[in-house]
Amino acid sequence: MGQIFVYVFISCLLYLLVAVSFRTLYLVLKFIHIAHAISIALGAYFSYLFAIQLSLPLFLSIPISILFSIAFMLLLNQLVYNPLLKRRVEYWQMLIASLGVYVVMQNVISLIWGDNMLSFRTWPIKEGYQILGVFITDVQSITIIVCLLLVGLSWLFLERTSIGNKIKAVSSNPELAGIVGISKEKAVIWSIIIGSGLAACAGILIAADTDMKPTMGFNWLLYGVVAMIIGGMGKLRYLVFGALLLASAQHLSAYYLESKWMNATAYIILIVFLYFRPYGFSSQPLKKAEI
C-alpha cells in the first residue's frame, strides 16, 4: 500500500508539471493548445536524437533538446498561430488549427523515428532503493526533485518577476495591457518559452522513466488538462488538488481493478466532477462569457 503512495505522488507531480506548463500558455493564448502535446513528445525525441543517435553525453543533450523544443514551438507560433490570429480567427477555430498542427507534427515524428517505442536509457535498470518500506528508483527520485523544483520556479516566475506579471496582465485584459504598454506578443513569446520548456522537461522525465511513442504527448497533455479543469483556473494550490485527485483516482483504480482502466477513470472523474462543480475547485470560469 505504501508503494501506491509513491506512485500517486510521482504521477501527481508529473500531472502538475504538465498542467502548470499548459496553464502558462493558456493564460495568454486562451485556447486549448493541443499542439502543446508536441513539445512533450519533442523533448523526449530530441533527447533520443542527441543522446543515442548522436551519442552526446546526457548532461549536454538534455538542455540542448529542451532548447530545440522551445525553438520549435516559437517557430510554430510565428509561422502558424500569428498569421491565424492576424486574421481574427475565433478561439474554437484556433483550437482546430492547433489540432491540425498536432496531427501533422505527430505524423512527422513517427515518419522520422518510427512508431515503435524508443528509449534513451543507456544506464542499466537497477532495483530501487528501499526507504521506509517502499521502493524508489533513481529516475523516480530525480523526477520528484526536478518536478518540485520546476513547479516552484515557474510559480515564482509567474508571481514574482515583472515578465510574469506582464503575462498575467495580458491574460486578464489584453486591451488594457496594450494601453499601458505591455506587448501581447512578448507575453506570448515568454509564456511559450516557459510553457514549452516545462513540457519538454516533463517529456524527458516521462521518457527516462518508461519509454517514448509519437503519441505519448497527447495522453499526458490530456491528463494535465483534466487536472487543470478539475482544479479550475484559480491559484496554483487548486491545480495541486486537481492533480492529486486525478493521480489518486487513477492509481486506486489500477490497484482495485486493473491498470488498463486508468485512462477511462481519468475521464469519468472529470465528467462526474464537472457535473457537480462545472468550474472546478476554484469555481473560477475559464473565460468571462458565462451563460
CA distance 204 to 41: 8
Q: How far is the CB of 84 from another protein (least distance, A)?
A: 6
Residue 179 interacts with another protein (CB under 8 A)? no
- Scanning residues 190 to 219, which ones bind another protein (CB under 8 A)? 218
Q: Of the candidates 208, 213, 229, 214, which has an alpha carbon nearest to the alpha carbon of residue 282? A: 229
CB closer to another protein, 151 vs 229:
229
Does residue 50 touch another protein according to CB under 8 A?
no
CB-based burial, 31-61: b 16+ in 10 Å, e otherwise = bbbbbbbbbbbbbbbbbbbbbeeeebeeeeb
Q: Which residues of 62-86 are buried (b: 16+ CB within 10 A; e: fewer)?
A: bebbbebbbebbeebbeebbeeebe
DSSP code, position 127? P
Compute the distance between CA of residue 140 and CA of residue 158 in angstroms, rounded to an integer: 27
Instruction: Give the DSSP letter of residue 118.
Output: B
- 176 contributes a contact to another protein by CB under 8 A: no
Which residues inside 1-20 make contact with another protein, applying CB under 8 A? none
Residue 87 beta carbon to another protein: minimum distance, rounded to whole angstroms: 3
Segment interacting with another protein (CB under 8 A) among 103-111, 148-156, 194-202, 247-255: 103-111
Q: Phi, psi (5° rounding) for residue 96?
A: -65, -40
Q: Does 95 bind another protein (CB under 8 A)?
A: yes
Where helices occur in the chain by DSSP H, the ranges are: 2-29, 36-48, 58-76, 82-86, 91-113, 138-160, 162-172, 174-179, 184-209, 216-231, 236-256, 262-276
* Tally of CB atoms within 10 A around 221: 27
Question: With respect to another protein, which residue has the nearer C-beta, 115 or 159?
Answer: 115
Given candidates 9, 50, 68, 102, which one binds another protein under the rule CB under 8 A? 102
127 binding another protein? (CB under 8 A): no
The footprint of another protein on this chain (CB under 8 A) covers a number of residues equal to: 52
Neighbours of 159 (CB within 10 A): 12
Of 111, 117, 131, 156, which one interacts with another protein (CB under 8 A)? Answer: 111
Only one of the segments 16-24, 55-63, 98-106, 157-165 lies at the binding site for another protein (rule: CB under 8 A); that segment is 98-106
* 66-74, 104-112, 140-148, 158-166 -> range binding another protein (CB under 8 A): 104-112
Residue span binding another protein (CB under 8 A) among the ranges 6-14, 117-125, 142-150, 280-288? 280-288
101 sits near another protein (criterion: CB under 8 A): yes
Q: How far apart are CA 290 and CA 128, in angstroms?
A: 50
Establish if 178 lies at the interface with another protein (CB under 8 A).
no
**Cα gap 270→90, rounded to integer Å:** 26
Stretch that binds another protein, among 6-14, 140-148, 246-254, 260-268 (CB under 8 A): 260-268
Q: Does 274 bind another protein (CB under 8 A)?
A: yes
What secondary structure does DSSP assign to 204-225, as a single string? HHHHHHS-B-TTHHHHHHHHHH
- Contact positions toward another protein, by CB under 8 A? 31-32, 80, 83-84, 87-97, 99-104, 106-108, 110-111, 175, 218, 222, 225-226, 229, 258, 260-261, 263-264, 266-268, 270-271, 274-275, 278, 285-287, 289-291
